[in-house]
Amino acid sequence: MADVSLGPPDRDRLFGGDGAREADRAQLLLVAGLVMAVSLVTLVVLLNATIYSENVATRGIESADGEALEVRATAVGGAGELIGATNRAEPANHSEANERVESGVEDLDAEISRSYAERGGVTHLNLSSVENGSRVTGELGAVDPNASLLAGNVTRTRGFVIDVDPDSLNETDPAGAVDDAFHVDLNDSTGGSRQVYVYDGTDGNVTVAVGENGSAPTALCETPPDGRSRVAVDLTGERLGDRPCPGIWPRGLVAPDDDDYTVTLVNASSAGGEVTATARPASGDSVSTDLAATATAAVYEATIELRYRTAELRFETAVRVAPGEPDA
């Protein structure tokens, strides 16, 4: 059987002699090992910090503003639709229109608050003020064929759309448009006027041309009727049919410029269709118009106060809502 018992302690190794050198070397190795271990731990910590920060960087920075912009767009879009629906419902007077908008904004506030509370955001929406105006509509065939005042002494106009019947338009060219074509005259009280002509170009397209101070106009854009019974000429939205047509509305009549101007329909017998516009008078609540029979009280614009808060973000503003107003 093998002898596994421990022998007596080696005196030389413990207390000197040749064994002392081995013990010193071991001490050196121990210190070197300790230095390397500490260094490696430090390196690991640094590496970890680098990996963490680069991971954070590649994960992408969450855009803090996306939801606030979404809330604003929802509030402005909702308030715009509310104003449009209120005006289309033809309220009996301005106080009725204002009450509808006020109660609609309260409902919108409740809906938006509920929707964003689920996502951890707090919203508050309230109506600050309302500007009154008139919504004027009419058949082109029913207005004075020579000149009919659509809106007199107004400071702002929005949602000014003429749905023309392409077959009813006079066929002409820019040179003959001044006398023959249906046109809208925008007469600025501080001087100067802009005419927007709508006619059938010689190629059968619905053509829009603009002129200044009664001079021969320049064709701006045209669109083929493609069998449609109505083609929309959106003057304030600067669109013809489904295409943009920049340059229809004069820059001088865009908010915040508050010059008075007059909108007149001229040569209405040279076109068929319907006209719609909402305008804000320079004074009072209603605009003067020759189409008084079909003009109704309307809300021109509303100012809503919007507040949105999350743990990291605060966004507050007062927004003017006037859907269909020409862009500055």
Partner 1 sequence: MSVTVGYVLTLAIGAILLSGVVIGIGGVLDAQTDRAVRGDLSVLGQTAAANVESADRLARAAETDRSSANGTLNASVSVAVDLPDRAAGVPYRIAIDDDAVTVRTDRPEATMAIPHAARTNVTPASVRGGPIRIEYERSGAGPGNLTVVER
Judged by the rule CB under 8 A, the positions of this chain that interact with partner 1 are 18, 21, 24-25, 28, 31-32, 35-36, 39, 42-43, 45-47, 49-50, 53-54, 56-57, 61, 63-65, 68-69, 72, 76, 128-129, 303, 305-307, 311-321
Q: Cβ 271 to partner 1, closest distance in Å?
A: 33
Nearer to partner 1 among residue 294 and residue 303 (C-beta): 303
Backbone angles phi, psi at 86, to 5 degrees: -60, -45
In the complex, the smallest distance separating the C-beta of residue 276 from partner 1, rounded to whole angstroms, is 22
Q: Are 280 and 263 in contact (CB under 8 A)?
A: no
For partner 1, the closer CB: 95 or 317: 317
Supply the minimum distance, in Å, between the C-beta of residue 25 and partner 1. Answer: 6
**Nearer Cβ to partner 1 (32/216):** 32
Residue 190 beta carbon to partner 1: minimum distance, rounded to whole angstroms: 22
**Token digits of residue 234:** 């959106």
The alpha carbon dihedral of 87, 267, 169, 155 has a sign of: negative
| Whether residue 225 has a cis bond before it, omega within 30° of 0 | no
Residue 252 exposed, middle or buried by CB count within 10 Å (0-12, 13-18, 19+) = middle
Which residues lie closer than 8 Å to 186 by C-beta, 6 or more apart? Answer: 193, 194, 195, 196, 250, 253, 261, 262, 263
- Closest distance to partner 1 from the beta carbon of 22 (Å): 10
Instruction: Report how far residue 227's alpha carbon sits from residue 151's, in angstroms, rounded to the nearest whole number.
Output: 32
The CB-of-97 to partner 1 minimum distance in angstroms stands at 19
Calpha distance 34→41 (Å, rounded): 11
Give SS3 for 251. Answer: helix
Token pair belonging to 149: 């005042």
- CB nearer partner 1, residue 6 or residue 28: 28
- CB-nearer residue toward partner 1: 42 or 93: 42
CB of 132 to partner 1, least distance (A): 15
CB-count burial class (<10 Å; 0-12, 13-18, 19+) for 34:
exposed
Q: Which is nearer to partner 1, 39 or 146 (CB)?
A: 39
Residues facing residue 305 across a β-bridge: 126, 318
Q: Which is nearer to partner 1, 35 or 216 (CB)?
A: 35
